[in-house]
Structures are given as structure tokens and as C-alpha cells.
Amino acid sequence: MSCAAWRATWTGRSSKGVPEVRISETLKGRHLLVTGFTGFLGKVWVTFLLDHLPEIGKLTLLVRGRRTEDAAARVRRIFERSPALRPLREKHGRALLALVREKIEVIEGDASDPLMGIPPHVLAQLAPRLDAVVHCAGLTDFAPDPRMAVDVNVRGAMHAADVAARIPSKRLLHISTCFVAGEVDGPIPEAVTPGLSPNGTRFDVDAELLAIDSACDAVDEREGGRKRPAARKGRVEVGTRRAKSLGWPNLYTYSKGLAEHALARRDDVALTLVRPSIVECARSYPFEGWNEGLNTSGPIVWMCSGFAWKVPMRAESCFDVVPVDTVARGMTIALADALEDEAEAVYQLASGDTNRFTFDRALDLTALKVRKGYVPSGVSPLERALLTHMDSTTLEHGADRSVLVPAAQKATRWLRDTFRKFDAKKLPASIDDELRETWQARVHDASLKLNKTSMLLRSIEQMWHVYQPFIHDFDYRFDTSHVRARTARLDADERRAFGWDLETLDWRHYWMDIEIPGLDKWSLPLLRGKDVPDDEGFDLGGDPPSAAAALPVSAPSIPAELGGAE
């Protein structure tokens, strides 16, 4: 299908009566350029493809290098140690090296650079071999520096499109978010109108990008340089004001929304937008409960486990959570449609329209889990005893949100300040010096822990402020007709492997037995400043030099014996 024909059907439906094509056949032998592999969703999706579609052609992974680790080393470490890739390590064992050599290429680049940092001579040799560009990379911080948000989420998307425009099919699958809907209530269609913001304001993307750049420059000049903390704070404030003026609640949704509008107006790419809602713990793949990083539900579960009596949520509003492996299924469906030139313009991957889960239900199930003995990992014995007798409730819409965790914050500060004033020298003379020193040390240690708790509570409250539009202010209902319609066309075997299956999700089982334990293991430790360990080391290719050679550094210059094309 030509780009012009695709644009004419931007909000329309795919043609009916098209002969059924199996996803496994559609992706057989296909070559994809994938960004964002190192992220939570990217790891799961790439693993899902390699595991469920053994006849897929090749995945060229565009990965940023680091100061102490180049792109190939990063990818190798993920294959060796990331829990997300357990299914491949368990399935292939020592043969995983052969799979990597056959299916994986690595190119070092950065989506925020022109042509994603791919040298022109490299791209000239790579592009003719590609069937699609899948752009998963992005900044997911809800309150980022607007300069970084624009560079990564907006210009990064445009650079991915520039690469897609150079491949034969022009296909670009861009991962966005359902929350580009902005500050609205009610049904959200699977469509986008270029140049029309969520609050109905007409705008030009190029003019908006110039305006936000100019506003940030003015802040930097006023504060004496862009690296000053006051300059960053000022940029966030001015950027947030611009976002809200167009109907986006924060800089994350603003930047993702601008990216959609910038891409939708292009006539040199065949664009498919994929919008997940809140991506959470895996339902079953790569294994139950897998999560990575600190996302929306982690702080919510931590607070709802008893640390707050009143939480700022609308009880009846939809908590639109989708397991990451379900999102991987939806992405695969959208990609298959794109490769068959049958793709819809937008695929929303959400739960609320067919299997609604409310914040009130989430609180009830979390409280039930606590009563059954669960408390977040790392809490003290006193906290453990208290939490089993505390239930959280939602804060009524429009009520004063300043009541968030007041008792916990007040008590923590009072105890911290009391312990700080403790002086063992003022204890009765009958207490010996050794005991005085012991008590002084214990009180000092308790004071430090309480200070960390106070800082954590302040951080959690800041998170609530950021999450407020999604959990309190608006009740979104995202339409998912497109992915459900495609699932209905799959045969029984492919429906089990790739079909959209949110309708069968039992929220009680998922929330209590998968989501909460998964967050407790993989996400909540990060709230307390602790690391989450990788899996035990798996040697992909023997000694480090052999492992390094197993992953080609760039597509066009790989020796055949290392997995390159002959």
C-alpha cells in the first residue's frame, strides 16, 4: 500500500474479506530494526519473538553504548543475566550462542541523534534488508527535563521515521501510550487528528518545538546556565505549563503526544501507532510477576499496603493495567498487520473496555493481601505489626489531597527529631558507659532510618502528585476494538500463542498472586534504594572474548563465522 493510500485511511478500518494469514507465516524470514531493547517492554517483546517465532529472520537491535560498556556488551549482558531472557536460556542452554549468532545483530546508536546515530554508509547497506522499524525506545519519566523529553520522545521518533523512510516498505511501528489522550474523561477512540490537541487547540508541531526550545533557553539564561538545579526546575515548570495549555497533564504525555502528531503528518512512512496503557507485571511470560524498574503500580501498592489511610484515587475510575506479556502479544498482532499492509492507524492496548478494574477494587485486594500476611519487603517489625491492622481507602474526588499520609509523615518526623536530640550522657549515673554507648549508637541508627523513611514518604507524595491525572482526575476508557478484531481472525493455535486475552484475566488472582508479589520482588526494593539482582551468570560463549565475538557490532561488516550474512 502506498503512503498516500495509507494516510487516506488514517482513522479508517482495514479492508474486509482479506484472506487469513497466520502471524507465524507473516513474520517468517522478516528482518526488523528494533530500538528500546534494553527497556522493560523491549526485553520481553524480543524474547517473546525469539521464543514463539523461531523462523523470524533477524532482529537488528539499536542500542546506546555507555562509558564503560559498548552496545554489544550491553546486549550480551542482557542475554546472559536478565531475568526477562530466562525462557531462552532455559530452552536453549549452551545452544543460545548459535541462536544469537543467527538471529541478532547489534548497532550502536542513539535515537535522539539524526538517523538514530547510524552512519550513512551503514544505513545504506542495512536499509534494503529491513522489513520494518519498530521504535520502542523512549523516556518514561513523568516529570523529565523538557529538553530531554523532546530530544528522546519527539525528535527520537522523527529520527526513527527518517530511517523507516529509507527502507523498501517504509513501515514504522511506533510505541506510544494511551495517555496521549490528555486531560479528558470518557471513551478514547483509536485515532489521532494531526494538529488538534486534547483540549481542542489547533497547533503546529514545528512551532511548538521551537516554542519549548525558546522557553527553555530563556530559563537557562535567567538562571545562569542550563546545568544549575534552578534552571532544570524552571524548565520543568515552563514545560509543564505549555503541556497543560494544550491539554496534556505532564511532560511525558506532552512529548509522546507531540511525537504522534509529528509522525502522523508525514507522507513518507507507513505508520502504525501502538498505545499501551499501564504496563505491569507479566501474567505468565517470561514468568509470572516479572517486572523491571519503578513504574506506576509500585508506589501505589506500597502506599495501599497500609502506609496511607487516604489515597488520592477515584474509587470508581478505571485502573487500566495491562500485563507486559499481553502488551507483547498486542505489539506482535499490530506488526503482523503492518507487514501484511492491513494495519489500522492506531492499536490501543488497554483493559478497561472489556475487563474493567477499578482503583477501589485494587485497594480492596491489596488490603485483603495484607490481612493474609503480606507486607512490603524491608519494613521493620513495628511496621509489620501495624500494617496488618490498617486499611487504605480512596480519597473522594475534589477532596483536599493534602491529607495524603499525614499521620505517617508527622509521626516519622517527630520520632526522627526526638531521637536526634537523645543524649546518652544525660542518662542516670547508675548506667555504665558501655551501655550508654550502645544505646546512643542504636538511637543514632534509628534516627538515620527514620530520616530515610521521611525522605521516602516525601518522594512517594511527589509521585502521587505526578500520577494524579491518571489515578484521580480522569476516568479513561480506551477502545481496543482493533486488536480484538484481529485476534478474532486468528485460528485456535495462534490465538493461544498471540491473541489478545485480557477478557480472560481474573483480577483477584492477578493482583494478589502475581502483581503484588512481583512488585515486591522486582520493584519495591528500588523505593528503599536497594538494587534488584540479575540472574546468576550465564556464559553465552565461553570466555569473555568469545562472548563478545558472538554479538556483531554492526550489521554490514560481520564475519560470516560470527553470525553475519554471507
Most confident of 263-277, 304-318, 372-386: 263-277
Answer yes or no: do 177 and 197 share one domain: yes
Instruction: Report yes or no on 538 lying in a domain.
Output: no
Residues 389, 264 share a domain? no
According to DSSP, residue 469 is labeled: I
Inter-residue contact 254 to 242 (CB < 8 Å) = yes
The verdict on residue 156 lying in a domain is: yes
Q: Are residues 361 and 386 in the same domain?
A: yes
Same domain for 292 and 254, yes or no, is no
Specify if 495 maps to a domain.
yes
For residue 339, is pLDDT > 80? Answer: yes
CB under 8 Å to 157, separation ≥6 — which residues? Answer: 111, 135, 174, 259, 262, 263
Pair (362, 304) in one structural domain: yes
The mean pLDDT of 415-439, rounded to a whole number, is: 65
Sorted by sequence, the CB contacts under 8 Å of residue 518 that are 6+ apart come out as: 281, 282, 288, 289, 290, 291
Query: Is 70 exceeded by the pLDDT of residue 305?
Result: no
Please give the residue range of the domain that contains residue 377: 284-319+357-474+506-532
- Domain check: are 338 and 397 in the same one? no
Residue 304: is its pLDDT beyond 50?
A: yes
Contact criterion met (CB below 8 Å) for 486 and 333: yes
Give yes or no for residue 17 having a pLDDT over 60. Answer: no
Q: Are residues 308 and 177 in the same domain?
A: no
How long is the chain?
566
Confidence of residue 522 (pLDDT cuts 50, 70, 90): very high
Judgement on whether residues 333 and 420 belong to the same structural domain of the protein: no
Q: Does the residue 299 lie in any domain? A: yes
Confidence band for 370, pLDDT divided at 50, 70 and 90: confident
DSSP 44: H
Q: Both 70 and 195 in a single domain?
A: yes
Q: Is 301 inside a domain boundary?
A: yes
- Asked if residue 8 is part of any domain, the answer here is no
Distance CA 339, CA 546 (A): 35
Q: Is the pLDDT assigned to residue 484 strictly greater than 60?
A: yes
125: domain CATH number is 3.40.50.720
Position 456 scores a pLDDT of: 64
Regarding whether 49 and 176 lie in a shared domain, the answer is yes
- Per-range mean pLDDT, top range of 76-85, 137-146, 394-403, 442-451: 76-85
Q: How confident is the model at residue 4 (pLDDT cuts 50, 70, 90)?
A: very low
Instruction: State yes or no: pLDDT of 448 exceeds 70.
Output: no
pTM metric for this prediction = 0.84
Check whether residue 448 and residue 526 sit in a common domain: yes
Tell whether 140 is covered by a domain.
Answer: yes
Query: Closest by alpha carbon to 332, among 117, 508, 486?
Result: 486
Question: Which grid cell sits at 355?
Answer: 475487563
The Cβ of residue 173 has, within 10 Å, a number of other Cβ atoms equal to 26
Judge if 310 and 254 occupy the same domain: no
Task: Note the pLDDT tens digit of each residue in 223-244.
Answer: 999 899 999 999 999 999 999 9
Beta bridge partners of 310: 393
- 111: in domain: yes
Checking if the pLDDT of 549 tops 50, the result is no
DSSP state letter for 531: P
pLDDT digits (tens, 9 = 90+) for 192-214: 999 999 999 999 999 999 999 99
What is the count of structural domains for the chain?
A: 2
pLDDT band at 290 (very low <50, low <70, confident <90, very high): very high
